[in-house]
């Protein structure tokens, strides 16, 4: 069977469209379960990287430093993070996940897994195997410099 | 050939990992060309939706209203958007893309296309056709309610 001619732009566009749809759906389901994707991402980065100041947190998330303030404020109000003084820089505050924050993140990740399962589970097993192989190939062929630029 | 057993969670995880890698790389390349992905997204939403106040803009982007302030401030400083008074709500300001903003967005989207081309162009044409078909199948099978919830 001769394959239809598909440009890499078309693949990229389809990939991004699916991500947009996925992102919105996951956010809706997670928000309904109590933790928006934006808040879950902040908790995730803090869980992975340990306690850190807001400037570093914003950097990892790719936002301007002040842009994470609202999210961190909301998480603090809900008791999911705490802020303590940074001994090395008195103007900065160190943000840490609380035990309640870890529980909320775990629950949110479970919800996300269920949504992903529902979405990619719509493909037959053979197609899932092909899709994961193609995605891994793209990941492996990624332009060089990607990892060396990572923080 | 019997396909390897791949869970839908594994496909979802790989999909998200690739997106994370892609997002970081596109942001680096676009930032180096003058417009970060965060700024480009704001310009994109404004170009699509026309002039709007910051609350609506934040809603479309999925952020808290105050969270877009930094980005809109920066875009305004660079002459890429303007803010004018909202006649229906004197506390609100309407954000519009300037001609310089449209040019900057067009240049940024071109850079993004080139990056996507480089990344997905690493696959042979036959694989691209298979990948795009699988992604479209996942999009088509998307859980119902997705579109009805869209703003």
Write down the residue that tokens 């389809």 correspond to.
A14
- Within 10 angstroms of residue B22's Cβ, the number of other Cβ atoms is 22
Inspect the interface and report whether the beta carbons of A63 and B38 lie closer than 8 Å. Answer: yes
**A77 touching chain B per CB within 8 A:** no
pLDDT averaged over chain B? 87
d(CA B37, CA B23): 8
The secondary element (H helix, E strand) that includes residue A65 is none
Closest CA to B38 of B55, B58, B11: B58
pTM of the model: 0.76
pLDDT in tens, B46-94: 999 999 998 899 888 877 677 788 889 999 999 999 999 888 887 788 9
Q: Residue A64 is nearest to which of B16, B70, B132, comparing CB atoms?
A: B70
Chain A contact set for B10 (CB, 8 A): 128, 132
Q: Residue A53 in 3-state DSSP?
A: strand
pLDDT in tens, A67-110: 788 889 999 999 999 999 888 887 788 999 999 999 999 999 99
**Whether the complex's predicted ipTM surpasses the cut of 0.85:** no
Question: What is the least distance, in Å, from the CA of A113 to any CA of chain B?
Answer: 6
Nearby residues of B104 by Cβ (< 8 Å), 6 or more positions away? B34, B35, B43, B78, B80
d(CA B136, CA A17): 10
Contacts A–B by Cβ distance under 8 A? 205
**A128 touching chain B per CB within 8 A:** yes
- Answer whether residue A24 shows pLDDT above 80: yes
Q: Residue A131 is nearest to which of B11, B117, B139, comparing CB atoms?
A: B11
What is the pLDDT, as a whole number, of residue A142? 83
pLDDT in tens, A44-54: 999 999 999 98
Q: Residue A24 in 3-state DSSP?
A: helix
């Amino acid at each position: 069977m001769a394959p239809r001619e598909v440009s890499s732009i078309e693949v990229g566009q389809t990939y991004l469209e699916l991500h947009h749809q996925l992102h919105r759906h996951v956010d809706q389901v997670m928000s309904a379960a109590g933790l928006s994707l934006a808040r879950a991402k902040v908790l995730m980065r803090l869980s992975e990287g340990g306690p850190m100041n807001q400037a570093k947190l914003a950097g990892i998330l790719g936002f301007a430093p002040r842009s994470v303030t609202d999210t961190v404020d909301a998480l603090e109000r809900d008791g999911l993070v705490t802020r303590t003084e940074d001994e090395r820089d008195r103007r900065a505050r160190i943000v840490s996940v609380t035990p309640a924050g870890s529980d909320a993140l775990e629950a949110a990740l479970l919800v996300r897994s269920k949504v992903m399962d529902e979405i990619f589970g719509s493909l037959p097993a053979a197609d899932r195997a092909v899709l994961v192989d193609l995605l891994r190939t793209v990941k492996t062929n990624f332009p060089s410099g990607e990892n060396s630029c990572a923080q």
